[in-house]
Amino acid sequence: MDDNTKRRIETWLNGAYDQEIKDEIKRMQQEDPKALEDAFYCDLEFGTGGMRGIIGVGTNRMNKYTVGAAAQGIANFMKATVPHDPRIVISYDSRIMSREFAQISADIFSANGIQTFLFDDIRPTPELSFAVRELHCQAGVMITASHNPKEYNGYKVYGDDGGQLVAPYDRLVLDEVKKVTDISMISWQRKASLVKVIGKKIDDIYLKHVRALSLHLPKSEKGKNLKIVYTPLHGTGIALVPQALKMFGFKDVTVVAPQAIPDGTFPTVVYPNPEEHEALKLALQCADEIHADLVLATDPDADRVGIAVRNADGEMQLMNGNQTATLLFNYVLEHQLKKGHDIKNPYVVKTIVTTDLLKDIALDYNIDCYEVLTGFKYIAETIRSHEQDATYLVGGEESYGYLVGDFVRDKDAVSACCLIAEMAACYKVIHRENHKLLTEVLDDIYYQYGLYQEGLLSLTKKGQDGLNEIRQMMEKFRTKPPKTIGGIEVVKMHDVQLQKYYDYRYGTNGPLDLPSSNVLQFFLKDGSKLTVRPSGTEPKIKFYFSVTTKVNRRNEMAARKLELQQKIEDLKKAMLEF
């Protein structure tokens, strides 16, 4: 154990910390010194989007004191930059300690003279984003660790536009948080007159905006009776998604009962992550029992949604984030632009690791498709920068996050659930002359624009050793980039951190029009693409793969899909061996 770690432990043992905290440290000293070292070897990083970590004792954990320091830093920033009537809104999910962390934050913000709006119970992240703008706040806080395991919680910070903080404000807030070096610098005593509890009124206004997004409400009884299974995975989605679906006209919605109860221990799943097949197991079983058309699953803070649809063989088929984004983009553009709507400079947004098929669709409609760094805050930043001169239609990322319309400035699973259901009804029921399943619609898109398939490889590297290993891996890729990957020539590399591209075919390089970020992209001779980046929220390094080919005849589709899947597996193997 190094001296800095020992010093942090002694500070907590001798400082004005709760006795139960000190008792736990002493127990760990005797029974689990390795865990104690991990809990104190560093300060839990308050990054540019907030912080996320394991709940527990220590400077590297989510607890009363690390949350308190974050809240005080935000309060200090607001007091320095908002001269009159500073206002902040707080929401939280169903995770362990979420309510307590929200209450602590309300105490600290109000103690610092900030008008604080606190939701009366769990609410989804997108409603928090909406409430920031609706209540004319300069900031917002969402207590959530999204889809992480039950041991985690987190702290997302939002700016006055309802989007997560971006430069330069993210760094300015981060600097203020770092200045809170002692718990004596934190104002803990709530000023009750400055804390206002909010709830149903904001729900109703938000849901009214969601309802207005409808592009083709199902008017027929068949459309209304599309069979839907929904699971909130023990999270906040239960507060609004069933109600929103009902507002869209869907009557036949079955909620997975064992997962409808908000519970931060997530007793029915290993990970409350709609990307995981295991997390949707109960919903898929329910769908088969009642022969449902569609499964919708939201993560604990209801900003991401995973889906499954019934295919031509009568089986429930999971859609990944790129496939759902493709369907949703296509549906929105088809109904917004082909119908002759007069829209001023329409555009869409995707992240650099999301399928390039979205760019092809946008090009076909002759509209801009902006590419941004990974993280929905960059989509929100793009919306803000074009508010006066263009119209945002839809944005998405491969990690199951989508946003239609701009009254929310983060990914929104509540509205996405409604529009996905509407899309399924539109293609399957309402357009009876063109009766199609979503799997068939997706194949039509592939046939028109080209078949794209994507894959993800995540390597978990925990603790200080893991962090160092991830840094070393990124350094190796950056300084000794591969000339071939899986036997395929690398023709170009983007080093986003250096904001430069290198074209090996012509021996040229130049600037990239992206903010600096620790991301590398390799472009292969056959059109494949590989992106490498450390996760910003988990102890992981991530590899994103994209491969593509043309399909000349529809009866070749299945064979081409298998070929592309094998290519992804070959590229994954190459990365593991690099």
DSSP secondary-structure letter at 194? G
Distances (CA, A) of 567 to 110, 398, 501, 559, 564: 56, 19, 25, 13, 5
Is 146 an active-site residue? yes
Q: Using CA atoms, how far apart are residues 109 and 112, in angstroms rounded to an integer?
A: 5
Cβ neighbors of 480 (< 8 A, separation 6 or more) are none
Structure tokens, 142: 């969402």
On whether the CB atoms of residues 492 and 509 are closer than 8 A, the answer is no
Cα of 86 vs its chain's centroid, Å:
28
* Amino acid occupying residue 382: T
Structure tokens, 303: 């900003």
The answer to whether the Cα torsion of 165, 171, 176, 178 is positive or negative is positive
Nearest Cα to Cα of residue 304 among 214, 376, 378: 376
Q: Using CA atoms, how far apart are residues 290 and 293, in angstroms rounded to an integer?
A: 9
On whether the CB atoms of residues 13 and 24 are closer than 8 A, the answer is no
Q: Using CA atoms, how far apart are residues 462 and 280, in angstroms rounded to an integer?
A: 27
Partnered with residue 296 across adjacent β-strands are: 230, 307
DSSP codes joined into one string, 440-498: HHHHHHHHHH-EEEEEEEEEE--HHHHHHHHHHHHHHHHHS--SEETTEEEEEEEETTT
Nearest Cα to Cα of residue 329 among 297, 357, 307, 288: 357
Partnered with residue 142 across adjacent β-strands are: 91, 156
Structure tokens, 423: 């899309």
Cβ neighbors of 202 (< 8 A, separation 6 or more) are 119, 127, 130, 131, 134, 135
On whether the CB atoms of residues 89 and 137 are closer than 8 A, the answer is yes
Structure tokens, 407: 């009254």
Q: Using CA atoms, how far apart are residues 207 and 245, in angstroms rounded to an integer?
A: 10
Q: Is 435 exposed, middle or buried (0-12, 13-18, 19+ CB in 10 A)?
A: exposed
Structure tokens, 199: 């709830």
Tally helices (H) and strands (E) across the chain. Answer: 18, 23
On whether the CB atoms of residues 424 and 441 are closer than 8 A, the answer is no
Tell me which of 98, 110, 146, 528 is the catalytic residue. 146
Helical residues (DSSP H) of 180-270, grouped into ranges: 200-211, 221-224, 241-247
Q: Which residues are identified as catalytic? A: 146
